Structure formats: structure tokens, C-alpha cells
Amino acid sequence: MGRLSIDFFGETLDNPVIPASGCFGYGYEFAELYDINVLGTFSFKGTTREPRFGNSTPRIAETSSGMLNAVGLQNPGAEKVISEELPKLSKVFRKKVMANVSGFSVREYAETCEMLGREPQVGWLEVNVSCPNVHGGGMSFGTDCSQASEVVRAVKAVTKKPVIIKLSPNVTSITDIAKACEDAGADGVSLINTILGMRIDLRTRKPVLANTYGGLSGPAVFPVALRMVHQVSHAVRIPVIGMGGVSSAEDVLEMMMAGACAVEVGAANLVDPYICKEIIETLPNAMDRYGIESLRELQKEVK
């Protein structure tokens, strides 16, 4: 095993770098640029039971140190992902992939997870109860302990694949939500999703985004994400995947020192499509600078 390899829900990943959902499509687009098998794995675009067109435009806005998005879970639906997207992916990616699932009811979460969980290439289910850009679903399940628990129990009842709950930072206490998910049977949690924000066009005096609000991601959220990963990793016994503003090998090491078992990279992929490859390539030198022999050392030091 190499010095970058990590333990990940009973599997061994070559490294902890995982492109985050919504920032890497279904993978094969990036395979045109480089061999995506260098990745630990990746989380594919958030998928719902039925196709979704997403929110009205404009739905992307830049900020001084990040971006706002209100895409609204645009995706072709679970059946098309299974019949079209995964077969394309299997031609360029030989590893297991993480399926990101969203829903508008507990039943929909369960049905979509059951469908995707039957696919051999899907190794893990990342259940998104934290999307701030849709109405009547997503984040509404992730801001209430009882609703989050209900989703966890429903999904665990229909699949044997590891279930990872993606948590929202837009709550009073993210540790309470994390502990509720753990108590309900979640195998792990991932955090943070985007922070709710907005921009106003000074000329029109109206919100820039058609949705008014959107999710803030990018370097601006990194310190907040790091703090929340640290808090949650000390509050639960299940593995924590860290994300939020990660854009360098040093950021990965910080996340792992805060308690993350692996690290997702989101908005940085939209700025530099080679960023995950570059982070993996520069990790050994960064580890040398800080006296880290292997990343498993950091996993053992957690808590």
C-alpha cells in the first residue's frame, strides 16, 4: 500500500482525493482531460428519482473568493443515470464510484438509493439532505434531527451499500444532526455542503440569482468547513468526509488533521479542471514538508 492510501468504509482507496458532487459531472467529461483513475473515487452529480431541469437562470454568480450556485439539482433522473451515464463511465473509470442522491420525500430518497445501490459500480451512497437550492426538499431534511433520521432509516432498509449523509452547514448545531444520523444507522457523514448566500445587482437593484439565494462555495468557506469537520469528528464515531473550499494538498492535510478520513474537492474543479490530479501529485511533497510518512497516520490520530 502506498503512503497516500487510506481506509474508506472497508475499502482501500489509492488516495483521499474525491471530486465532489455537482463539480465533476458523471466523470467521463473529465476523462477527456486526464486519466481519472488517479482519483481515490468521485461523487457523481446529484441524482433524483425523476429528471429535473433545475432552477431558472441566472443560477451562477461569482464572489470575491468563491461562487454562488442555485443550479437546483438538474439531472436526467435515476433511470437515465443507470442506463446511459454509468455505462459511459465504466469505459473510462475502473474503480467504484460514489452515487450522490437527493429527494423530495423520504420515499423518493429510498427508491432512488435502492435503484442506484443495485449497480455494481456504485460503491457508496452519499445521501444529500443539505441542498439549499431547491424548494420542498434537500436542505429541509438536513436541518431537523428527526427528518434526517427518518431518511437514514429508510435508505438503510433498502441497501447494503455504505450510506454517507451529506450535512448542511445552515443549521444551529451540525453536531446534533450528525449524531442523529449516526444513531439512525448512517455509516458516515460528509460535510459541508454550501453556505446559503446572495448577491445583488447594483444596477437593477435585484438579486443576481433568479432563485434569490444560492449556495456559497470556494476558498471563502474553508475555515468554516474545517471547524465543522473538527466538531463533528469529535462528536461521532463514524467516519467523516471533509469538504468545503479545498483547493490544495495543504488543505487536504488540514482537513485530515481536523478529523476527515477523506476529502472532497468541489468548486476548485470549475476553476482548474486538473486540480484534483495536481493535488494528488503534490501531496507527497506536502507530506514531506510536515513530517507525515503516510496518510493512515493522520487517520489513526483522529480524535
CA-based nearest residue to 18, from 164, 137, 151: 164
pLDDT tier for residue 303 given thresholds of 50, 70 and 90: low
19 vs 54: which has the higher pLDDT: 19
Mean pLDDT across 218-235: 97
Extract the C-alpha cell encoding 146. 428527526
Kindly report, residue by residue over 29-46, the tens digit of the pLDDT. 999 999 999 999 999 999
When the pLDDT of each residue in the chain is averaged and rounded to a whole number, the result is 94
pLDDT of residue 54: 87
pLDDT at 133 over 50: no
Mean pLDDT across 144-162: 95
Kindly report, residue by residue over 252-283, the tens digit of the pLDDT. 999 999 999 999 999 999 999 999 999 999 99
104 vs 179: which has the higher pLDDT: 179
Pairing of strands 163-166, 214-217: unpaired
State whether residue 6 is helix, strand or coil: strand
Kindly report, residue by residue over 46-105, the tens digit of the pLDDT. 999 999 988 999 999 999 899 999 998 899 999 999 999 999 999 999 999 999 999 989
pLDDT tier for residue 131 given thresholds of 50, 70 and 90: low
Q: Which residues, other chains included, contact 275 with Cβ-Cβ below 8 Å and sequence gap of 6+? A: 247, 265, 268, 269
Kindly report, residue by residue over 282-292, the tens digit of the pLDDT. 999 999 999 99
* Separation of alpha carbons 51 and 165, rounded Å: 22
The fraction of the chain above a pLDDT of 70, given in percent, is 95
pLDDT of residue 141: 77
* Separation of alpha carbons 252 and 246, rounded Å: 7
23 in active site: no
The fraction of the chain above a pLDDT of 90, given in percent, is 90
The β-bridge partners of 66 are 63
pLDDT tier for residue 130 given thresholds of 50, 70 and 90: confident
Pairing of strands 262-265, 97-101: unpaired
Extract the C-alpha cell encoding 114. 435502492
The β-bridge partners of 101 are 47, 127
Extract the C-alpha cell encoding 100. 450522490
Catalytic residue (choose from 23, 131, 145, 261): 131
State the number of CA atoms in the 13 A half-sphere of 89 facing the CB.
26
* Separation of alpha carbons 224 and 82, rounded Å: 35
pLDDT tier for residue 170 given thresholds of 50, 70 and 90: very high
| Burial (CB count <10 Å: 0-12, 13-18, 19+), residue 107 | exposed
Distances (CA, A) of 282 to 126, 247, 275: 27, 12, 10
DSSP letter (8 states) at residue 44:
P
pLDDT of residue 135: 45
| Domains of the chain, first to last | 6-55+75-197+219-301 (3.20.20.70)
Cell 477527456 appears where?
32
* Separation of alpha carbons 184 and 152, rounded Å: 6
* Separation of alpha carbons 54 and 52, rounded Å: 5
E strands, 134-271, in order: 163-166, 188-191, 195-197, 200-201, 206-207, 214-217, 240-243, 262-265
Mean pLDDT across 186-214: 96
